């Protein structure tokens, strides 16, 4: 039993990483209705910016804020320059665009900062949290930040004018335009916010997985899985999905014999598919009602 609880705790700790990423994924999905395959790479790039600022002697929190501002502006710039012209192109062409963006960002980061692994500081320290060896203060801090972010997002989308306008633009673009919402800029804003949330995720994840251009590869897969599992229309679902995926993965690695560890990822993904087959809109997503 103790082993079980320990593994669940360890799962929650890794789950926090996925939850963070899943939140960014859902954010952009809400704004543009696509999964952005380049999200992880954008987050990685932002994290490198933070690292670079700190290398230049900027204090941690200033670097953090500057990076957020940069990521927000960068997200908007990418949308304006690259994806606004593609708005009328077929969906699959857009997906190809994300893949192109992925390749560009990854390669530029690799050339600028090379592929060596770099340590990244954490503001929370790395001592055991409440005497538990499995969860460090950094991971606890990460869970705290994720939950805080979730609450902020909820408040933003529920109670601010602009949050409401963004939801309207995503849900019913035509009608939103008719009531005077600038839907095109709402999408850009969505990119900016998703990029900033991605930056937060990257900065929180970097101390755990270390900083390098390919750091997000694995994380993004789990982030997508978590977002889809929780339901793409629900930020809360995404966060819960993230924790569940983390726990799934750890338990599979522990209990399913020697195969378990090799097959951690496939088993986690298979479980997710089973959930999806039973509940196609994800655990917390609204089932889609379609007019025909």
Q: Is 288 in the site for another protein (CB under 8 A)?
A: yes
Q: Is 215 in the site for another protein (CB under 8 A)?
A: no
Q: Is 283 in the site for another protein (CB under 8 A)?
A: no
Q: Is 291 in the site for another protein (CB under 8 A)?
A: yes
Q: Is 35 in the site for another protein (CB under 8 A)?
A: yes
Report the distance separating Cα 256 and Cα 79, nearest Å.
44
**End-to-end distance of the chain based on CA atoms, in angstroms?**
51
Strand, coil or helix: 1: coil
- Which residue matches tokens 């600038």? 182
Write the CB contacts of 229 (distance below 8 Å, at least 6 apart in sequence): 237, 241, 244, 245, 272, 275, 276, 282, 283
Q: Which is nearer to another protein, 100 or 151 (CB)?
A: 100
* 38-77 positions binding another protein, by CB under 8 A: none
With CB under 8 A as the contact rule, the residue among 97, 230, 235, 253 that binds another protein is: 97
Q: Which is nearer to another protein, 57 or 90 (CB)?
A: 90
* Alpha-carbon distances, residue 72 vs 26, 46, 79, 85, 267 (angstroms): 16, 10, 11, 20, 36
Q: Which stretch binds another protein (CB under 8 A): 8-16, 29-37, 68-76, 195-203?
A: 29-37
Q: Which stretch binds another protein (CB under 8 A): 90-98, 119-127, 140-148, 152-160?
A: 90-98
Beta strands in 36-172 (DSSP E): 128-129, 132-136
Q: Is 128 in the site for another protein (CB under 8 A)?
A: no
Q: Is 33 in the site for another protein (CB under 8 A)?
A: yes
Q: Which is nearer to another protein, 55 or 262 (CB)?
A: 262
Residue 236 host element (H or E): helix 235-255
Quote the Cα angle for 85-88-93, to 5°. Answer: 85
* Alpha-carbon distances, residue 183 vs 74, 117, 167, 176 (angstroms): 19, 41, 10, 7
Q: Is 290 in the site for another protein (CB under 8 A)?
A: yes
Q: By CB under 8 A, how many residues form the interface with another protein?
A: 53
* 256-275 positions binding another protein, by CB under 8 A: 259, 262-263, 265-266, 269-270, 272-273
With CB under 8 A as the contact rule, the residue among 106, 122, 136, 139 that binds another protein is: 106
Q: What are the φ/ψ torsions at residue 205 (nearest 5 degrees)? A: -80, -35
Q: Which is nearer to another protein, 121 or 173 (CB)?
A: 173
Quote the tokens at residue 214: 């390919």
Compute CA 201 distance to the chain's CA centroid, rounded to the nearest angstrom.
6
Q: How far is the CB of 234 from another protein (least distance, A)?
A: 12
Q: Is 80 in the site for another protein (CB under 8 A)?
A: no
Report the distance separating Cα 190 and Cα 70, nearest Å.
15
Q: Are 164 and 157 in contact (CB under 8 A)?
A: yes
Q: Which residues bind another protein (CB under 8 A)?
A: 30, 33-35, 82, 85-86, 88-93, 95-97, 99-104, 106-108, 110-111, 170-172, 221, 224-225, 228, 232-233, 259, 262-263, 265-266, 269-270, 272-273, 276-277, 280-281, 288, 290-292
């Amino acid at each position: 039993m103790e082993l079980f609880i320990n593994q669940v705790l360890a799962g929650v700790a890794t789950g926090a990483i996925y939850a963070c990423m899943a939140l960014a994924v859902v954010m952009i999905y809400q704004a543009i209705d696509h999964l952005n395959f380049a999200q992880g790479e954008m987050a990685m790039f932002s994290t490198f910016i933070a690292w670079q600022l700190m290398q230049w002697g900027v204090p941690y929190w200033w670097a953090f804020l500057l990076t957020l501002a940069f990521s927000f502006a960068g997200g908007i710039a990418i949308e304006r320059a690259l994806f606004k012209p593609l708005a009328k192109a077929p969906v699959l062409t857009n997906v190809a665009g994300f893949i192109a963006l992925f390749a560009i960002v990854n390669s530029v980061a690799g050339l600028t900062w090379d592929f060596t692994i770099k340590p990244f500081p954490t503001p929370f320290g790395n001592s055991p949290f409440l005497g538990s060896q499995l969860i460090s203060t950094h991971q606890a801090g990460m869970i705290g930040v994720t939950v805080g972010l979730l609450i902020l997002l909820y408040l933003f989308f529920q109670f601010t004018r602009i949050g409401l306008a963004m939801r309207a633009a995503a849900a019913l673009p035509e009608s939103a335009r008719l009531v005077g919402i600038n839907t095109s800029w709402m999408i850009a804003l969505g990119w900016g916010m998703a990029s900033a949330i991605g930056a937060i995720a990257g900065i929180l994840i970097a101390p755990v997985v270390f900083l390098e251009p390919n750091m997000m590869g694995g994380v993004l897969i789990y982030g997508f899985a978590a977002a889809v599992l929780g339901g793409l229309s629900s930020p809360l679902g995404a966060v819960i999905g993230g924790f569940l995926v983390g726990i799934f993965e750890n338990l599979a690695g522990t209990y399913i014999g020697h195969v378990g560890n090799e097959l951690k990822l496939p088993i986690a993904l298979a479980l997710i598919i089973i959930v999806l087959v039973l509940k196609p809109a994800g655990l917390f997503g609204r089932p889609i009602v379609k007019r025909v």
